[in-house]
Amino acid sequence: MAAEHKQIHRIGILTGGGDCPGLNAVIRVVTKAAINKLGIEVLGIEDGFLGLIRNRIRPLGLNDVSNILTRGGTILGTSNKADPSHFMIGQADDGKPIFEDVTQRVVEHVREREIDVLVCIGGDGTMSGADNLVKQGVPCVGVPKTIDNDLMHTDVTFGFATAVQTATECLDRIHTTASSHHRVMIVELMGRNSGWLTMHAGIASGADVILIPEIPYNLDSICKAIIKRSKIGKRFTLIAVAEGAKPKGGQQVVNKIVHDSPDPIRLGGVSTVLAEEISERTHRETRATILGHVQRGGTPIAADRVLATQFGHKAIQMVAMHEWNRVVVMKNGRTDMAEIAAVANKQRVINLDDPIIGMARAVGTCLGE
């Protein structure tokens, strides 16, 4: 049910979690529509929920959002460590972090600034933070972003298409050097526990092997695919692997633990492990490349600019209609809404009966099965 109607005078907008292309497009449309269509003030909150914790909030005017549509990143800054319900305030004598729930401080800052509604742009972690504020009586509207494309209840998130394009271009470049040197080349992509980015970029680049978290891989199957290619005259193999991929019966490769983060586990390094194992078993020169944060950067492609603007426009409509405590989603090509609580702290993974899996198998791609 929509919130009780009251006059809206001021909204706040923040970008949380990892950056991605298209964030500025959302900030732009929300700010312009709020001022031009609704006649309300807009406050920009710096560095996600950290800005609400530290009270780093500033007015956003039309000039502030002019000429930002094509810019990557976010003009407001972001943080993937600032969870108000579990915020690091210091360290104990033994070096362990000390956490505190500072949600009430955030609520006080929202009330001091007389913010009627918060527009929270982010992924599942940001929606979890928004859901926490909703429970404290702070109205929120969510806008889904992530290069991982793993938010529940939406078919797509902005930032994903640009990340796929970037990753595909990188795979294409490595494809040519793999062919020239007759090597097995492994490219590691982001995605956490979902394989959307790796699957789309892998298919787009014609990767010979695609390994995703949803399908634990069998090393023997991968090596057999490499040797089979060699026997038919293919002297190289291109492998796209998601950072969250793991062997059957094995564990994901953890790069590091970030103790002051609400999501402390940082995956990474599976490509290096695979390169050593494949080289040892097949006696073929094998190299690993981890794309890392290059996948997040750069100017958004046209599709993401349009999608981000669609989402932002829907968000400001929801603000005006008092459809609060919901997140914008895309279903069957049309913008819709879902409860923020239904999206918070959840991940949308690839179902094994998804058409994209069948498509990969149909063209002979090895999925490590």
Active-site residue numbers?
148
Alpha-carbon distance of 47 to 298, in angstroms, equals: 19
Alpha-carbon distance of 136 to 177, in angstroms, equals: 55
- Of 235, 256, 242, the C-alpha closest to 186 is 242
- Of 245, 175, 234, the C-alpha closest to 210 is 245
Q: In what order do the strands lie in the sheet with 326-331?
A: 57-59, 41-45, 10-15, 117-122, 140-144, 326-331, 334-339
Task: Tell me which amino acid residue 225 is.
Answer: A
